[in-house]
Structure 1
Protein backbone atom coordinates (compact mmCIF):
# COMPACT_ATOMS: atom_id res chain seq x y z
CA UNK A 1 0.00 0.00 0.00
CA UNK A 2 1.31 3.42 -0.90
CA UNK A 3 0.12 6.49 0.87
CA UNK A 4 0.39 10.21 1.28
CA UNK A 5 -1.92 10.52 4.24
CA UNK A 6 -3.30 13.88 5.35
CA UNK A 7 -3.57 14.65 9.04
CA UNK A 8 -6.90 13.46 10.38
CA UNK A 9 -9.60 16.03 9.77
CA UNK A 10 -7.47 18.56 7.93
CA UNK A 11 -8.95 17.79 4.53
CA UNK A 12 -12.53 17.06 5.54
CA UNK A 13 -14.98 19.20 3.58
CA UNK A 14 -16.54 21.77 5.88
CA UNK A 15 -20.31 21.58 6.32
CA UNK A 16 -20.50 18.02 5.06
CA UNK A 17 -20.61 14.62 6.73
CA UNK A 18 -18.45 13.33 3.88
CA UNK A 19 -14.90 12.68 5.07
CA UNK A 20 -13.44 10.69 2.16
CA UNK A 21 -14.29 9.02 -1.13
CA UNK A 22 -13.09 5.47 -1.81
CA UNK A 23 -13.14 4.31 -5.40
CA UNK A 24 -12.86 0.97 -7.12
CA UNK A 25 -10.66 0.86 -10.23
CA UNK A 26 -11.54 -1.76 -12.88
CA UNK A 27 -14.88 -1.03 -14.50
CA UNK A 28 -15.52 1.94 -12.19
CA UNK A 29 -12.86 4.50 -13.12
CA UNK A 30 -11.20 2.75 -16.06
CA UNK A 31 -12.83 0.67 -18.76
CA UNK A 32 -10.75 -2.46 -18.13
CA UNK A 33 -13.31 -5.22 -17.60
CA UNK A 34 -13.23 -6.11 -21.30
CA UNK A 35 -9.42 -6.09 -21.25
CA UNK A 36 -9.42 -8.55 -18.34
CA UNK A 37 -11.78 -10.95 -20.12
CA UNK A 38 -9.73 -10.71 -23.32
CA UNK A 39 -6.58 -11.43 -21.29
CA UNK A 40 -8.21 -14.47 -19.70
CA UNK A 41 -9.36 -15.76 -23.09
CA UNK A 42 -5.88 -15.25 -24.56
CA UNK A 43 -4.11 -16.86 -21.59
CA UNK A 44 -6.26 -19.97 -21.73
CA UNK A 45 -5.88 -20.16 -25.50
CA UNK A 46 -2.14 -20.50 -24.85
CA UNK A 47 -3.01 -23.39 -22.55
CA UNK A 48 -5.19 -25.02 -25.21
CA UNK A 49 -8.56 -24.14 -23.72
CA UNK A 50 -11.52 -22.06 -24.87
CA UNK A 51 -13.47 -20.03 -22.33
CA UNK A 52 -17.26 -20.04 -22.36
CA UNK A 53 -18.73 -16.54 -22.67
CA UNK A 54 -21.19 -17.42 -19.88
CA UNK A 55 -18.26 -17.58 -17.43
CA UNK A 56 -17.58 -13.88 -17.94
CA UNK A 57 -20.10 -12.75 -15.30
CA UNK A 58 -18.58 -15.22 -12.81
CA UNK A 59 -15.03 -13.89 -13.03
CA UNK A 60 -15.70 -10.17 -13.45
CA UNK A 61 -15.07 -7.91 -10.48
CA UNK A 62 -13.70 -10.55 -8.16
CA UNK A 63 -10.28 -11.15 -6.65
CA UNK A 64 -7.69 -12.66 -8.97
CA UNK A 65 -7.43 -15.87 -6.91
CA UNK A 66 -11.18 -16.51 -7.13
CA UNK A 67 -11.38 -15.84 -10.87
CA UNK A 68 -8.26 -17.85 -11.67
CA UNK A 69 -9.33 -20.72 -9.44
CA UNK A 70 -12.75 -20.87 -11.09
CA UNK A 71 -11.24 -20.92 -14.59
CA UNK A 72 -8.74 -23.65 -13.71
CA UNK A 73 -11.53 -25.81 -12.33
CA UNK A 74 -13.90 -25.05 -15.21
CA UNK A 75 -11.35 -25.83 -17.94
CA UNK A 76 -9.25 -28.47 -16.23
CA UNK A 77 -6.15 -26.57 -17.36
CA UNK A 78 -2.82 -28.01 -16.20
CA UNK A 79 -1.53 -24.92 -14.40
CA UNK A 80 -1.20 -23.89 -10.78
CA UNK A 81 -3.03 -20.92 -9.29
CA UNK A 82 0.26 -19.06 -8.76
CA UNK A 83 1.39 -19.70 -12.34
CA UNK A 84 -1.95 -18.60 -13.78
CA UNK A 85 -1.95 -15.41 -11.71
CA UNK A 86 1.40 -14.40 -13.22
CA UNK A 87 0.25 -15.36 -16.73
CA UNK A 88 -2.97 -13.34 -16.44
CA UNK A 89 -1.20 -10.25 -15.11
CA UNK A 90 1.44 -10.50 -17.86
CA UNK A 91 -1.22 -10.90 -20.56
CA UNK A 92 -3.29 -8.01 -19.19
CA UNK A 93 -0.28 -5.67 -19.03
CA UNK A 94 0.54 -6.47 -22.65
CA UNK A 95 -2.99 -5.55 -23.68
CA UNK A 96 -3.44 -2.27 -21.85
CA UNK A 97 -0.38 -0.65 -23.45
CA UNK A 98 0.47 2.88 -22.37
CA UNK A 99 -2.98 4.27 -21.65
CA UNK A 100 -6.48 3.13 -20.79
CA UNK A 101 -9.88 4.58 -21.56
CA UNK A 102 -11.40 6.23 -18.50
CA UNK A 103 -15.07 5.74 -17.76
CA UNK A 104 -17.26 8.74 -18.66
CA UNK A 105 -17.31 11.16 -15.73
CA UNK A 106 -14.22 9.74 -14.01
CA UNK A 107 -11.83 12.60 -14.82
CA UNK A 108 -14.36 15.23 -13.75
CA UNK A 109 -15.11 13.52 -10.43
CA UNK A 110 -11.44 13.01 -9.54
CA UNK A 111 -10.63 16.63 -10.39
CA UNK A 112 -13.52 17.84 -8.20
CA UNK A 113 -12.30 15.87 -5.21
CA UNK A 114 -8.80 17.31 -5.52
CA UNK A 115 -10.11 20.86 -6.05
CA UNK A 116 -12.22 20.69 -2.89
CA UNK A 117 -9.63 18.90 -0.74
CA UNK A 118 -11.73 15.76 -0.28
CA UNK A 119 -9.27 12.86 0.19
CA UNK A 120 -9.70 9.93 -2.18
CA UNK A 121 -8.39 6.37 -2.08
CA UNK A 122 -8.17 3.85 -4.89
CA UNK A 123 -9.28 0.45 -3.55
CA UNK A 124 -8.84 -2.42 -5.99
CA UNK A 125 -8.75 -6.21 -6.06
CA UNK A 126 -6.11 -5.90 -8.79
CA UNK A 127 -2.49 -6.50 -7.86
CA UNK A 128 -0.01 -3.68 -7.16
CA UNK A 129 1.80 -4.15 -10.47
CA UNK A 130 -1.46 -3.54 -12.34
CA UNK A 131 -2.56 -0.60 -10.18
CA UNK A 132 0.78 1.12 -10.74
CA UNK A 133 0.33 0.80 -14.51
CA UNK A 134 -3.26 2.05 -14.46
CA UNK A 135 -2.30 5.03 -12.26
CA UNK A 136 -0.36 6.34 -15.25
CA UNK A 137 -3.75 6.84 -16.93
CA UNK A 138 -5.75 7.88 -13.86
CA UNK A 139 -3.15 10.26 -12.42
CA UNK A 140 -1.42 9.48 -9.13
CA UNK A 141 -2.07 12.99 -7.88
CA UNK A 142 -5.77 12.22 -7.50
CA UNK A 143 -5.26 9.70 -4.70
CA UNK A 144 -3.95 10.16 -1.17
CA UNK A 145 -3.77 6.38 -0.79
CA UNK A 146 -4.08 3.22 -2.89
CA UNK A 147 -4.87 -0.33 -1.72
CA UNK A 148 -4.07 -3.36 -3.89
CA UNK A 149 -5.62 -6.81 -3.70
CA UNK A 150 -2.28 -8.52 -3.10
CA UNK A 151 -1.46 -6.23 -0.17
CA UNK A 152 -4.33 -7.25 2.11
CA UNK A 153 -4.91 -10.54 3.93
CA UNK A 154 -8.50 -10.71 2.66
CA UNK A 155 -9.61 -8.86 -0.44
CA UNK A 156 -13.11 -8.05 -1.70
CA UNK A 157 -15.83 -9.13 -0.89
CA UNK A 158 -14.26 -8.96 2.59
CA UNK A 159 -14.45 -5.44 4.07
CA UNK A 160 -10.73 -5.29 4.95
CA UNK A 161 -9.63 -3.21 1.91
CA UNK A 162 -12.20 -0.50 2.61
CA UNK A 163 -11.62 -0.51 6.35
CA UNK A 164 -7.89 -0.14 5.70
CA UNK A 165 -8.45 2.72 3.27
CA UNK A 166 -10.74 4.60 5.67
CA UNK A 167 -8.26 4.15 8.51
CA UNK A 168 -5.38 5.31 6.34
CA UNK A 169 -7.27 8.51 5.50
CA UNK A 170 -8.24 9.13 9.11
CA UNK A 171 -11.92 8.77 8.21
CA UNK A 172 -14.82 6.90 9.78
CA UNK A 173 -16.16 4.19 7.42
CA UNK A 174 -19.70 5.48 7.93
CA UNK A 175 -18.62 8.87 6.63
CA UNK A 176 -16.94 7.46 3.52
CA UNK A 177 -18.67 7.25 0.15
CA UNK A 178 -17.64 4.27 -1.96
CA UNK A 179 -18.07 4.06 -5.73
CA UNK A 180 -18.19 0.49 -7.08
CA UNK A 181 -19.33 -1.34 -10.21
CA UNK A 182 -19.75 -4.98 -9.11
CA UNK A 183 -21.70 -6.92 -6.50
CA UNK A 184 -18.41 -8.15 -5.01
CA UNK A 185 -17.15 -4.64 -4.43
CA UNK A 186 -20.51 -3.41 -3.15
CA UNK A 187 -20.58 -6.26 -0.63
CA UNK A 188 -17.11 -5.32 0.64
CA UNK A 189 -17.98 -1.64 1.03
CA UNK A 190 -21.29 -2.31 2.74
CA UNK A 191 -19.70 -4.80 5.13
CA UNK A 192 -17.23 -2.04 6.05
CA UNK A 193 -20.14 0.25 6.91
CA UNK A 194 -19.66 2.72 4.04
CA UNK A 195 -22.33 4.44 1.96
CA UNK A 196 -22.24 3.01 -1.55
CA UNK A 197 -22.85 4.33 -5.04
CA UNK A 198 -23.12 1.44 -7.47
CA UNK A 199 -22.47 2.03 -11.17
CA UNK A 200 -23.07 -1.49 -12.58
CA UNK A 201 -20.65 -2.38 -15.38
CA UNK A 202 -21.56 -5.96 -16.31
CA UNK A 203 -24.29 -7.40 -14.08
CA UNK A 204 -27.24 -5.48 -12.58
CA UNK A 205 -27.04 -4.35 -8.94
CA UNK A 206 -30.36 -3.66 -7.18
CA UNK A 207 -30.88 -0.62 -4.93
CA UNK A 208 -30.83 -1.30 -1.18
CA UNK A 209 -30.67 0.51 2.14
CA UNK A 210 -27.51 2.63 2.22
CA UNK A 211 -26.92 1.98 -1.48
CA UNK A 212 -27.66 4.21 -4.46
CA UNK A 213 -27.57 2.80 -7.99
CA UNK A 214 -26.88 5.05 -10.99
CA UNK A 215 -26.50 4.36 -14.70
CA UNK A 216 -23.24 6.24 -15.20
CA UNK A 217 -20.44 7.88 -13.29
CA UNK A 218 -21.47 11.06 -15.10
CA UNK A 219 -24.35 11.25 -12.58
CA UNK A 220 -21.90 11.31 -9.67
CA UNK A 221 -20.24 14.55 -8.57
CA UNK A 222 -19.17 16.04 -5.24
CA UNK A 223 -22.59 17.57 -4.39
CA UNK A 224 -24.18 14.19 -5.16
CA UNK A 225 -21.80 12.42 -2.77
CA UNK A 226 -22.29 15.01 -0.03
CA UNK A 227 -26.07 14.70 -0.36
CA UNK A 228 -25.72 10.93 -0.28
CA UNK A 229 -24.17 11.14 3.16
CA UNK A 230 -26.97 13.32 4.51
CA UNK A 231 -29.69 11.00 3.22
CA UNK A 232 -30.88 13.06 0.28
CA UNK A 233 -30.36 10.18 -2.19
Structure 2
Protein backbone atom coordinates (compact mmCIF):
# COMPACT_ATOMS: atom_id res chain seq x y z
CA UNK A 1 0.00 0.00 0.00
CA UNK A 2 3.02 2.30 -0.25
CA UNK A 3 2.56 5.37 -2.41
CA UNK A 4 4.42 8.00 -4.39
CA UNK A 5 2.38 10.97 -3.14
CA UNK A 6 4.10 14.33 -2.44
CA UNK A 7 5.65 15.13 0.91
CA UNK A 8 3.55 16.33 3.85
CA UNK A 9 4.28 20.01 3.28
CA UNK A 10 2.21 20.09 0.06
CA UNK A 11 -0.97 22.06 0.74
CA UNK A 12 -4.38 21.19 -0.55
CA UNK A 13 -6.71 23.78 -2.06
CA UNK A 14 -8.33 24.53 1.30
CA UNK A 15 -4.99 24.76 3.12
CA UNK A 16 -5.46 21.56 5.14
CA UNK A 17 -2.33 19.45 5.52
CA UNK A 18 -1.23 16.54 7.62
CA UNK A 19 1.46 17.96 9.91
CA UNK A 20 2.46 14.85 11.88
CA UNK A 21 1.54 11.28 12.76
CA UNK A 22 1.43 10.04 16.36
CA UNK A 23 1.59 6.30 16.99
CA UNK A 24 0.88 4.24 20.08
CA UNK A 25 3.26 1.37 20.88
CA UNK A 26 1.85 -1.75 22.59
CA UNK A 27 -0.82 -3.42 20.49
CA UNK A 28 -0.53 -0.79 17.75
CA UNK A 29 3.02 -1.12 16.39
CA UNK A 30 4.20 -4.14 18.37
CA UNK A 31 2.27 -7.28 19.23
CA UNK A 32 2.90 -7.12 22.98
CA UNK A 33 -0.47 -6.66 24.70
CA UNK A 34 -0.52 -10.42 25.27
CA UNK A 35 2.99 -10.22 26.74
CA UNK A 36 1.84 -7.63 29.30
CA UNK A 37 -1.12 -9.75 30.37
CA UNK A 38 1.00 -12.89 30.66
CA UNK A 39 3.52 -10.96 32.77
CA UNK A 40 0.79 -9.63 35.07
CA UNK A 41 -0.79 -13.09 35.32
CA UNK A 42 2.54 -14.73 36.24
CA UNK A 43 3.50 -12.10 38.82
CA UNK A 44 0.14 -12.28 40.59
CA UNK A 45 0.21 -16.08 40.52
CA UNK A 46 3.51 -15.89 42.39
CA UNK A 47 1.80 -13.58 44.88
CA UNK A 48 -0.91 -16.20 45.39
CA UNK A 49 -3.64 -14.70 43.21
CA UNK A 50 -5.03 -15.97 39.90
CA UNK A 51 -6.21 -13.13 37.67
CA UNK A 52 -9.57 -13.47 35.97
CA UNK A 53 -9.57 -12.79 32.22
CA UNK A 54 -12.23 -10.13 32.83
CA UNK A 55 -9.52 -7.90 34.32
CA UNK A 56 -7.61 -7.85 31.06
CA UNK A 57 -9.89 -5.36 29.34
CA UNK A 58 -9.64 -3.03 32.33
CA UNK A 59 -5.84 -2.86 32.45
CA UNK A 60 -5.11 -2.85 28.70
CA UNK A 61 -3.74 0.38 27.27
CA UNK A 62 -3.49 2.21 30.56
CA UNK A 63 -0.53 3.56 32.52
CA UNK A 64 1.30 1.07 34.69
CA UNK A 65 0.34 2.81 37.95
CA UNK A 66 -3.37 2.64 37.10
CA UNK A 67 -3.24 -1.00 36.01
CA UNK A 68 -1.17 -2.06 39.01
CA UNK A 69 -3.38 -0.16 41.47
CA UNK A 70 -6.46 -1.79 40.02
CA UNK A 71 -4.99 -5.30 40.22
CA UNK A 72 -3.87 -4.78 43.83
CA UNK A 73 -7.37 -3.57 44.72
CA UNK A 74 -9.30 -6.42 43.09
CA UNK A 75 -6.97 -9.16 44.36
CA UNK A 76 -6.01 -7.78 47.75
CA UNK A 77 -2.38 -8.68 47.03
CA UNK A 78 0.04 -7.80 49.82
CA UNK A 79 2.46 -5.65 47.81
CA UNK A 80 3.13 -1.92 47.58
CA UNK A 81 2.31 -0.14 44.33
CA UNK A 82 5.92 0.99 43.77
CA UNK A 83 7.20 -2.53 44.33
CA UNK A 84 4.65 -4.06 41.96
CA UNK A 85 5.27 -1.57 39.12
CA UNK A 86 9.01 -2.14 39.36
CA UNK A 87 8.52 -5.91 39.36
CA UNK A 88 6.17 -5.86 36.36
CA UNK A 89 8.43 -3.58 34.34
CA UNK A 90 11.51 -5.67 35.09
CA UNK A 91 9.75 -8.92 34.22
CA UNK A 92 8.34 -7.47 31.00
CA UNK A 93 11.71 -5.98 30.01
CA UNK A 94 13.32 -9.39 30.38
CA UNK A 95 10.57 -10.91 28.24
CA UNK A 96 11.18 -8.53 25.32
CA UNK A 97 14.98 -8.48 25.58
CA UNK A 98 15.36 -10.52 22.39
CA UNK A 99 13.04 -8.30 20.37
CA UNK A 100 9.32 -7.95 19.84
CA UNK A 101 7.02 -8.97 16.98
CA UNK A 102 5.69 -6.08 14.91
CA UNK A 103 2.02 -5.80 14.03
CA UNK A 104 1.14 -6.52 10.38
CA UNK A 105 1.76 -3.40 8.30
CA UNK A 106 3.78 -1.59 10.98
CA UNK A 107 7.19 -1.74 9.32
CA UNK A 108 5.77 -0.75 5.93
CA UNK A 109 3.88 2.23 7.42
CA UNK A 110 6.93 3.48 9.33
CA UNK A 111 9.08 3.20 6.21
CA UNK A 112 6.52 5.12 4.14
CA UNK A 113 6.26 7.94 6.68
CA UNK A 114 10.04 8.18 6.90
CA UNK A 115 10.45 8.18 3.12
CA UNK A 116 8.05 11.12 2.83
CA UNK A 117 9.64 12.94 5.78
CA UNK A 118 6.43 13.02 7.80
CA UNK A 119 7.19 14.03 11.40
CA UNK A 120 6.33 10.92 13.40
CA UNK A 121 6.11 10.54 17.17
CA UNK A 122 5.84 7.45 19.34
CA UNK A 123 3.43 8.26 22.18
CA UNK A 124 3.12 5.48 24.75
CA UNK A 125 1.92 4.91 28.32
CA UNK A 126 4.82 2.48 28.79
CA UNK A 127 7.86 3.53 30.79
CA UNK A 128 10.99 4.88 29.11
CA UNK A 129 13.05 1.77 29.84
CA UNK A 130 10.47 -0.36 28.02
CA UNK A 131 10.18 2.00 25.04
CA UNK A 132 13.94 2.14 24.55
CA UNK A 133 14.14 -1.65 24.39
CA UNK A 134 11.34 -1.86 21.84
CA UNK A 135 12.90 0.85 19.68
CA UNK A 136 15.60 -1.65 18.71
CA UNK A 137 12.89 -3.60 16.87
CA UNK A 138 11.09 -0.56 15.46
CA UNK A 139 14.09 1.52 14.43
CA UNK A 140 14.66 4.73 16.44
CA UNK A 141 15.42 6.58 13.20
CA UNK A 142 11.73 6.30 12.29
CA UNK A 143 10.66 8.73 15.03
CA UNK A 144 11.24 12.45 15.39
CA UNK A 145 10.06 12.19 19.01
CA UNK A 146 9.30 9.47 21.56
CA UNK A 147 7.27 10.14 24.69
CA UNK A 148 6.92 7.71 27.62
CA UNK A 149 4.20 7.41 30.21
CA UNK A 150 6.55 8.06 33.12
CA UNK A 151 7.79 11.34 31.63
CA UNK A 152 4.57 13.28 32.27
CA UNK A 153 2.51 13.92 35.43
CA UNK A 154 -0.55 12.57 33.62
CA UNK A 155 -0.64 10.07 30.79
CA UNK A 156 -3.45 8.39 28.83
CA UNK A 157 -6.48 8.64 29.02
CA UNK A 158 -5.65 12.31 29.66
CA UNK A 159 -4.84 14.35 26.53
CA UNK A 160 -1.48 15.49 27.93
CA UNK A 161 0.75 13.05 25.97
CA UNK A 162 -0.67 14.08 22.61
CA UNK A 163 -0.78 17.78 23.45
CA UNK A 164 2.84 17.55 24.62
CA UNK A 165 3.94 15.73 21.47
CA UNK A 166 2.25 18.35 19.28
CA UNK A 167 3.83 21.20 21.23
CA UNK A 168 7.32 19.71 21.04
CA UNK A 169 7.00 19.18 17.29
CA UNK A 170 5.48 22.63 16.79
CA UNK A 171 2.33 21.31 15.11
CA UNK A 172 -1.43 21.69 15.62
CA UNK A 173 -3.15 18.67 17.29
CA UNK A 174 -6.14 18.85 14.95
CA UNK A 175 -3.77 18.37 11.99
CA UNK A 176 -2.03 15.33 13.50
CA UNK A 177 -3.33 11.82 12.83
CA UNK A 178 -3.20 9.42 15.77
CA UNK A 179 -3.15 5.62 15.51
CA UNK A 180 -4.28 3.77 18.65
CA UNK A 181 -5.50 0.30 19.62
CA UNK A 182 -7.36 0.84 22.92
CA UNK A 183 -10.24 2.91 24.25
CA UNK A 184 -7.83 4.53 26.71
CA UNK A 185 -5.55 5.74 23.94
CA UNK A 186 -8.40 6.82 21.68
CA UNK A 187 -9.89 8.81 24.55
CA UNK A 188 -6.59 10.63 25.09
CA UNK A 189 -6.13 11.46 21.41
CA UNK A 190 -9.68 12.68 20.92
CA UNK A 191 -9.49 14.82 24.05
CA UNK A 192 -6.41 16.45 22.51
CA UNK A 193 -8.40 17.24 19.38
CA UNK A 194 -6.65 14.80 17.04
CA UNK A 195 -8.38 12.72 14.36
CA UNK A 196 -7.96 9.06 15.26
CA UNK A 197 -7.47 5.76 13.49
CA UNK A 198 -8.41 2.93 15.85
CA UNK A 199 -6.96 -0.54 15.24
CA UNK A 200 -8.60 -2.54 18.08
CA UNK A 201 -6.44 -5.16 19.76
CA UNK A 202 -8.02 -6.52 22.97
CA UNK A 203 -11.12 -4.32 23.24
CA UNK A 204 -13.68 -3.55 20.52
CA UNK A 205 -13.81 0.13 19.54
CA UNK A 206 -16.86 1.62 17.84
CA UNK A 207 -16.62 4.16 15.02
CA UNK A 208 -17.49 7.76 15.95
CA UNK A 209 -17.26 11.28 14.61
CA UNK A 210 -13.57 12.03 14.04
CA UNK A 211 -12.67 8.36 14.51
CA UNK A 212 -12.03 5.72 11.85
CA UNK A 213 -11.87 2.05 12.82
CA UNK A 214 -9.83 -0.42 10.75
CA UNK A 215 -8.94 -4.05 11.31
CA UNK A 216 -5.20 -3.77 10.62
CA UNK A 217 -2.39 -1.34 9.88
CA UNK A 218 -2.37 -2.96 6.46
CA UNK A 219 -5.32 -0.67 5.72
CA UNK A 220 -3.40 2.48 6.70
CA UNK A 221 -1.03 4.41 4.45
CA UNK A 222 -0.04 8.05 3.93
CA UNK A 223 -2.93 9.00 1.59
CA UNK A 224 -5.34 7.42 4.10
CA UNK A 225 -3.89 9.54 6.95
CA UNK A 226 -3.87 12.70 4.86
CA UNK A 227 -7.52 12.17 4.03
CA UNK A 228 -8.39 12.29 7.75
CA UNK A 229 -7.21 15.90 7.82
CA UNK A 230 -8.70 17.06 4.53
CA UNK A 231 -12.07 15.46 5.31
CA UNK A 232 -12.15 17.12 8.73
CA UNK A 233 -11.33 20.49 7.14
TM-score range for the pair, normalised by the shorter chain length: over 0.9
Equivalent residue number for residue 156 of structure 1 = 156
Task: State the 1:12 CA deviation.
Answer: 4.4
Aligned-CA RMSD value: 1.1
Equivalent residue number for residue 139 of structure 1 = 139
Equivalent residue number for residue 205 of structure 2 = 205
Q: Is the 8 A contact 1:20 1:177 kept in 2?
A: yes
Q: Is the 8 A contact 2:57 2:202 kept in 1?
A: yes
C-alpha separation in 2, matches of 1:121 and 1:53: 32
C-alpha separation in 1, matches of 2:46 and 2:131: 25
Q: Is the 8 A contact 1:13 1:117 kept in 2?
A: no
C-alpha separation in 1, matches of 2:60 and 2:26: 9
Task: State the 1:42 CA deviation.
Answer: 1.1
Q: Is the 8 A contact 2:8 2:116 kept in 1?
A: no
Equivalent residue number for residue 180 of structure 1 = 180
Query: Are residue 86 (structure 1) and residue 93 (structure 2) matched?
Result: no
Alignment of 1:50-89 (within 5 A): 50-89=50-89
Equivalent residue number for residue 99 of structure 1 = 99
Query: Are residue 13 (structure 1) and residue 1 (structure 2) matched?
Result: no
Q: For this pair of structures, how many residues does the alignment match?
A: 222
Task: State the 1:54 CA deviation.
Answer: 1.2
Unaligned runs of 5+ residues in structure 2 are 1-6
- Runs of 4+, deviation exceeding 6 Å: none
Q: SS at 2:178's partner residue?
A: strand
Task: State the 1:97 CA deviation.
Answer: 2.6
Q: SS at 1:94's partner residue?
A: helix
Task: State the 1:15 CA deviation.
Answer: 2.6
* 1:64-103 deviation digits (Å, cap 9, x = unpaired): 1111001001111110111000000011112113110000
Q: Is the 8 A contact 1:13 1:116 kept in 2?
A: no
What's the TM-score, normalizing by structure 2?
Answer: 0.93
C-alpha separation in 1, matches of 2:227 and 2:162: 21
